[in-house]
Amino acid sequence: MTDTTKHLDYAIIEKIVEPGSRVLDLGCGSGELMYLLAKGKNAKVQGIELDEQAIYQCVEKGMSVFHGDIDSGLPEYPDKSFDYVILNQSLQEAKKAEFVLDNALRVGKYVIVGFPNFAHFYSRGMLLFRGKSPITESLPYRWYNTPNLHFLSISDFKDFCQRKDITVEAAYYLGENKQVYFWPNLLALNALFVITK
């Protein structure tokens, strides 16, 4: 089983998802979260993942997954064909992040977006005091090997939702191993938004 204390985000997503839902997990990795939702919530889950080895791991868990990138994975799906579309730690790696979000909102009744918060105080400190690109627990890469193409803060995402007329149903802010309730844009390492349009 997955250690849920290490995966606070999984535990929260598992709480959000209603039993028996249809779920699409974009950038599902080796299928840990899909497995939790299938077993725990009897969800009908489908993943999309780019890494070939991760595909084998998904199939070994009994999960259904499409081998491909999330940028081109959505257009064929009819409107609202899923209850939830999950973009957990994958949106920042998509080439066309806005296009992916627009399509996710079209295909899913709700979209659950999880991303690392670029405005965490430690990141700010690294830039301000050391003049270096931030490396934090949620942004562990160096500038030359990061898969991340987009760097956004919690405030950035809220602005984006407002500008695009996207409704924020719920927001969860995550620290190292527990939720953060004050000054999330400063104190949270990761954020999880439930949005709809």
Partner 1 sequence: MNPKSKSVGIVKTQSATFDQELKLESGQKLGPITLAYETYGVLNQSKTNAILVCHAFSGDAHAAGFHEGAKDPGWWDALIGPGKALDTEKYFIICINCIGGCKGSTGPSSINPKTGKPYALNFPLITIADMVDSQKLLIDYLGIKKLLCVIGGSMGGMQALHWVTAYPDAVQSAIPIATALKHSPQQIAFDEVGRQAIMADPYWNNGDYYDKKHPEKGLAVARMIGHITYMSDVSMEEKFSRRLKGDDYSFKFTADFEVEGYLRHRGDTFVKRFDANSYLYITKAMDYFDLSGGKFLSSKRHVDVRFLVIAFKSDWLYPAYQSQDIIRQLKIQGLDATYCEINSTYGHDSFLLEIDEESRLIKHFLDKTFRGYDIRT
Contact positions toward partner 1, by CB under 8 A?
Answer: 35, 38-39, 44, 46, 52, 55-56, 58-62, 64-68, 76-78, 81
Residues 6+ apart with CB under 8 A from 74: 26, 100, 103, 104, 106, 107
Would you say 62 or 140 has its CB closer to partner 1?
62
Q: Say what angle helices 8-16 and 32-41 make with each other, to 10 degrees.
A: 40
Dist. CA 64–CA 67, nearest whole Å: 10
Would you say 66 or 121 has its CB closer to partner 1?
66
Would you say 54 or 180 has its CB closer to partner 1?
54
Would you say 20 or 68 has its CB closer to partner 1?
68
Tokens of 125: 């400190």
| Maximum separation of any 2 CA atoms in the chain, in Å | 49
CB 90 within 8 A of CB 71: no
Would you say 75 or 147 has its CB closer to partner 1?
75
State the nearest-atom distance from the C-beta of 194 to partner 1, in Å.
23
CB 65 within 8 A of CB 47: yes
State the nearest-atom distance from the C-beta of 121 to partner 1, in Å.
39
CB 185 within 8 A of CB 154: yes
Q: How far from the centroid of its chain's Cα atoms is residue 51's Cα?
A: 17
CB 180 within 8 A of CB 187: yes
Would you say 35 or 193 has its CB closer to partner 1?
35
In one-letter notation, the amino acid at residue 76 is: E
